[in-house]
Amino acid sequence: MPPPMEAQQLVAWNLRRLRVAKGVSQDDLALSAEIERAYVGYLERGKRNPTVVTLEKLSNALGIHISELFTEPEGDVAPITPLRAGRKKK
């Protein structure tokens, strides 16, 4: 079993995983959570340490319980990798 992730990386990994699974763009998540889009990107890359208030906004915007942002991955997981830049085609 791999060692547990640090909290900041764990939040980053879960935030991206949950956002992508729900088919939500960073722009849409930022708008719903009332935060800057660039800040969402920083959080997903583990470059910023969010406040509890920010985590609440993000979890509400994603329709999840805040605790889901702290769920340890099962098995081997790939590290956070960049996604293709740009807006999703509709």
Burial of 87: CB neighbours in 10 Å, binned 0-12, 13-18, 19+: exposed
Specify the pTM.
Answer: 0.81
What pLDDT was estimated at residue 74?
81
The answer on pLDDT for 27 being more than 80 is: yes
The pLDDT value given to residue 81:
58
Domain range 7-69, its CATH number among 1.20.1630.10, 2.70.50.30, 1.10.260.40, 2.60.40.10: 1.10.260.40
Distance CA 61, CA 26 (A): 11
Neighbours of 63 (CB within 10 A): 10
| 89, pLDDT greater than 70 | no
39-62 per-position pLDDT tens digit: 999 999 999 999 999 999 999 999
Q: Give the pLDDT band (50/70/90) at residue 5.
A: confident
Question: In 3-state terms, the chain is what percent helix, strand and coil (to 5)?
Answer: 50, 0, 50
Distance CA 23, CA 40 (A): 15
